[in-house]
Amino acid sequence: MTVRSLHLPVAAQPSVDSLVDLARLGESHGYDFAWLPETWGRDAVTVLTDIARETDEIGVGPSIVNVYSRSPALLGQTATTLQEVADGRLRMAIAPSGPAVVEGWHGTEFDRPLRRTREYLEIMRAVMSGETVNYDGEIFSLAGFRLRCDPPAEPVPIDAAGMGPKSVELAGRFADGWHAVVFTPDGLEDRLEDLRRGMELGDRDPDDVRVTLSLTACALEDGERARELARQHFAFYVGAMGTYYRESLSRQGYEEEAHEIAAAWASGDTEEALDCISDDLLDDLGAAGTPDRAREELAKFEDIDGIDDIAIGFPRGASSDEIEATIEELAPDE
């Protein structure tokens, strides 16, 4: 059975309290998790701590924290602490992010992302075991330290995000789950094959690997406004966020559109970039329109075998009222 969660807004919000309020609204409507992205705004750890303190049942976790800006041991400590604050409701999600953020914001070389992700998974688990960590990897070597506090009473699952075949295979082989973002239904089916191959290589039980899709959605009585917001959101990601989203969209059968969007954005013609996103492409990537139409588009993704959790995300330009309306219209208890 597919559950619904929240992928809290990636765009700047008025305050930490506003993010807490959205998580509490999601909890009141029966959403399973409140996932929080971390880019170049508020840090995820502080906000998640507040959300965990102000909620009772909804799961909490970052989606994602990158594997460059914090050491793997520190992320193990962080997961240990957040699990304590959240009374066992934490689920971590890590990934390389991309060169635009890692190099442009954190000033760190975007080097060996897949190997780095694997070593983070291994070291974080070793840290959270409570045993002395002795680890000799290709990137990291640690020796002689252990947690100075009790390890988590409930083990913290660690998911990995990824868009390409190898990164998704890695998630299936080594992580406790895969986080997917900006995928068409057909594109998801292809990557789920990579995930299953990874699970076979790692001799994993498929029931132990959870698949979460972050799906951009906007459900408003003004359906055209909802679709325009979603169109702006996808144009930004494909046009402005480096090559990762463009390459992923190309692999999913939209190579021409991906390059046209990127070219228009690079030339400063945002209107042309928006025009490159057809209604068919918009429906293939998200669930936007009137509440009835958004629910219809959402159902296409929920019907995909192998998806465990659809995390409802929101366009970058959506107002607080529009985000709240979408949470209420697409709630699992509706």
> What does pLDDT average to over the chain?
95
Grade residue 281 by pLDDT with cuts at 50, 70 and 90: very high
**Would the pTM of this model clear 0.85, i.e. be above it?**
yes
Task: Name which of 326, 260, 297, 93 is nearest 185 in CA terms.
Answer: 297
In a domain, 269, yes or no: no
In a domain, 274, yes or no: no
> What is the phi/psi pair of residue 313, to 5°?
-105, 180
In a domain, 258, yes or no: no
Find all residues with CB under 8 Å of 124, minimum gap 6, and list them: 72, 75, 76, 79, 92, 94, 158
* Rounded average pLDDT over 37-66: 97
In a domain, 72, yes or no: yes
d(CA 106, CA 329): 37
In a domain, 248, yes or no: no
Q: 18: domain range?
A: 3-222+287-329
Instruction: Return the minimum-mean-pLDDT range out of 54-58, 157-161, 231-235.
Output: 231-235
- Residue 165's DSSP bridge partners are none
* Rounded average pLDDT over 279-298: 96
In a domain, 257, yes or no: no
Q: What is the signed CA dihedral for 95, 101, 102, 106, rounded to 10 degrees? A: -130
Higher pLDDT, 247 or 325: 325
* Cβ atoms 37, 11 nearer than 8 A: no
Can you give the CATH number for the domain in which 42 is found?
Answer: 3.20.20.30
* Rounded average pLDDT over 36-61: 97
- Residue 293's DSSP bridge partners are none
pLDDT of residue 334: 62
How many domains is the chain partitioned into structurally?
Answer: 1
pLDDT tens digit string along 164-194? 999 999 999 999 999 999 999 999 999 999 9
In a domain, 156, yes or no: yes
In a domain, 273, yes or no: no
Maximum alpha-carbon separation in the chain: 60
